[in-house]
Amino acid sequence: MKRFAVTIARTCGSGGTPIAKLLCEEYGISLYDKKLLALAAQRSGINEALFHQADESNSKSLLYKISKKVYAGEIISPHSDDYTREDNLFNCQAQTLKELADSESLVCVGRAGDYVLKDCPNLLRIFLYAPFEVCVKNEMKRLGITEKEAQKHINQTNKNRREYYHFHTGRDWENPEHYDICFDTSTFRAYAECAQIIKTCIDQRFQ
C-alpha cells in the first residue's frame, strides 16, 4: 500500500480520537494529536507549554476572535522576537506534520491537518460529528461530569476549534467542501464500525 495520511476533524464528543486510535491499531501507524505539539517543541527548541497554550482546545485569546493569519509555510527566524508568537507556533507544528507525512503513514486529529497537508498526494480528509445530545452523553461519561457541565464544555471546545481553524486557514471549519468524507458517528453501533468505513476508503484509494 502507498504511504498515506488521514486527517480527522471532529466536533467535541463525536468520537474522533477513539476512532483514530482504532485506525492506527489496524494499520500499525502513529497517531498525531497532542503528540505533535511535543515533537514540534523538540524540533523548534520552544517550550512545549507554549504550544499547549496556543493549542486548538485552549486558544481563547482576542487574537483568534478578531483576525486571521493564514498558514503559508513560512517559519520565523529563531532570532526574531516573534519566534514564539502564536501563529509561528502553528507554523512550527505544521512543518513538523508535513515532514512526518513525507516519511510515514499517519493519522492526525485536529490541528487543521486537512489544510496543512492539502498538498500531500495520498490524503484522506475526514470530518466527524454527532447530534449535540449524543455528544453531551459521551462527554458526561468520558469526563465524569454533569449534563450542564458537558454542554458548556462542548460549546466552548467547538468554539475554540472553530476560531483556531479559521485563524490559521481562513476557512470555515464545518464546511463539508474541505473534506472527503463527513458522517454522523451516532448512526453506527460502535466506533469500530466508523473506523471500518474509513479503512474501506483508505484501502480503495491507496491500495
Q: H or E segment at 100?
A: helix 86-101
Distance, CA of 98 to CA of 95 (rounded, Å): 5
Domain total in the chain: 1
pTM over 0.75: yes
For residues 153 and 145, the answer to whether their CB atoms sit within 8 Å is: yes
- CATH of residue 59: 3.40.50.300
Residue 83 has pLDDT above 80, yes or no: no
Residue 51, domain extent: 5-206
Give the model confidence (pLDDT) of 11-33 as tens digits.
999 999 999 999 999 999 999 98
Q: Cell match 479559521: residue?
A: 166
